[in-house]
Amino acid sequence: MLRRIPYSYTPSELLDELTESMDFFKGSFDFCYLPANCRHSCNVGYAFINFRRPEVCRRFLETACLHRFRKQAGSTRVYAKVSYAHVQGLHANLEYLKRTRVGTVSAKNMTGMYSPMVFVEGVEKPLSVQEFSRISVFHDQRPSISEVSTSVSATPDLLPMEYYDEVSIELLSLLFSLSNDVELNSYGNPFHVDEHALFD
């Protein structure tokens, strides 16, 4: 979890700056979510980034705390604050989004520049969060492309599998292969944003 982010940053600006500042950062993560205050069209000061390997996560933890944001208002630049999030792993983060709200908006229904971002081999897949949030899968399964249609259990609002094209099925398979089997934490909802407390 990355804190003290200036409110004016968009997710793309944040990731671009971190990539430029840390040579190991590019392609090292598979999930990024910068919650936003939709009413004010700005972020709320913190982001969640899930790394693909624990050693890279530890390196980020050690390095990012020395990072000073370029867009910080005023003459004093604020250092980032980094900590481990309660929810760990791509699959666990996406599952959490299914029952999370950002102000009055369901996190899984967030669209536009502040929507949650999923990356496969360093490439953003903008529709994957929406599709993945509709899928439930047994934690001990790692389906191949040919197995997706038989191993995925649909929620009531999921379209029949024949409505998904080959690219979507391949993407789902890749997401499952990247997912970490981590049980959801019961400490509360780290994605929850109280807009009134932050901005009123």
Boundaries of every domain in the chain:
2-183
- Fold observed for domain 2-183: Alpha-Beta Plaits (3.30.70)
Q: Which residues sit opposite 165 in a β-bridge?
A: none
User: Of 35, 21, 11, which is closest to residue 77 (Cα–Cα)?
Assistant: 21
pLDDT in tens, the chain (200 residues): 899 999 889 999 999 999 999 999 988 898 888 888 777 778 889 999 999 899 999 999 999 988 988 887 665 777 899 998 888 888 888 888 777 655 445 555 555 667 788 887 777 765 555 555 554 343 334 434 333 333 332 333 344 455 445 555 555 555 555 544 334 444 444 454 444 544 44
Question: Tell me, what's the pLDDT at 36?
Answer: 83
Q: Strand 81-82 to strand 36-37: parallel, antiparallel, or no bridges (unpaired)?
A: unpaired
